[in-house]
Amino acid sequence: MKLEQFNQVSIAEAKKQIAHCVALHDWVTALVAQRPFASLEALLQCGDNLARQWDARSLAQALSAHPRIGEKAQGQAKEAALSLGEQSGVNVDDHPLKQALKAGNAAYEQRFGQVFLIRAKGRSGEEILSELQRRLANDPQRELQEALDQLREITLLRLKETFQ
Ligand code: 2AL
């Protein structure tokens, strides 16, 4: 979609155009309410500012739309396709890597009580595994911050790609 179109369509249509970026209605609604945007940079900046207000509840809610690293996405077709593309670094025929990610995901969920989230796009499977192992040693407060930062990165990447 073009930014000029996004600026002009109805509220409902504008929300539909960016709903796949993150499963947080408040963020989608607030961003649409800030239209019109003079440039893509202004839109991304606004999306980033709004995402910096997220907290533990936002993360829990948004995670419902993110499959585990190495697992196929359920749910909305568009989000499932996006996740698959983002996780191309782990869609490789590497059994030991997949086993290690599976074990790491389980250890992470045991420790932090939710799915491990990372901006997978641009990262190899090995990088993701090493980040997973590093973050397992975080204290819960630090880890919440890192996971929120990753959610913001994924969301902003999706937003940028929507208008390119
Ligand atoms: C994902 C996903 O679906 N896309 C991405 O970058 N990371 N999932 C995850 N558990 O980190």
At 12-64, the pLDDT tens digits run: 999 999 999 999 999 999 999 999 999 999 999 999 999 999 999 999 999 98
Question: By C-alpha distance, which of 49, 53, 55, 81 is closest to 67?
Answer: 81
Residue 74 has pLDDT above 90, yes or no: no
Task: Please give the tally of structural domains in the chain.
Answer: 1
Residues 73-88 have a mean pLDDT of 82
**Ligand 1 proximity of 120 Cβ (cutoff 6 Å):** yes
3-state secondary structure of 92: coil
Question: By C-alpha distance, which of 72, 101, 97, 100 is closest to 86?
Answer: 72
Query: What pLDDT shows up at residue 88?
Result: 87
pTM of full prediction above 0.85: yes
- Ligand 1 geometric centre to CA of 58 (Å): 16
Crossing angle of the two packed helices 25-33 and 40-51, in degrees rounded to 10: 140
**Ligand 1 proximity of 152 Cβ (cutoff 6 Å):** no
**Ligand 1 proximity of 20 Cβ (cutoff 6 Å):** no
Q: Calculate the alpha carbon distances from 111 to 27, 145, 150, 158 in Å.
A: 28, 15, 18, 29
Residue 72 has pLDDT above 80, yes or no: no
Residues 158-164 have a mean pLDDT of 95
Cα distance between residue 98 and residue 71, in whole Å: 10
Residue 77 has pLDDT above 90, yes or no: no
Cβ partners under 8 Å of residue 24, min gap 6: 54, 58, 61, 62
Residues 119-140 have a mean pLDDT of 97
Query: What pLDDT shows up at residue 10?
Result: 98
Here the CATH number for the domain that contains residue 147 is: 1.10.3330.10
- Ligand 1 geometric centre to CA of 143 (Å): 16
Range of the domain at 127: 3-162
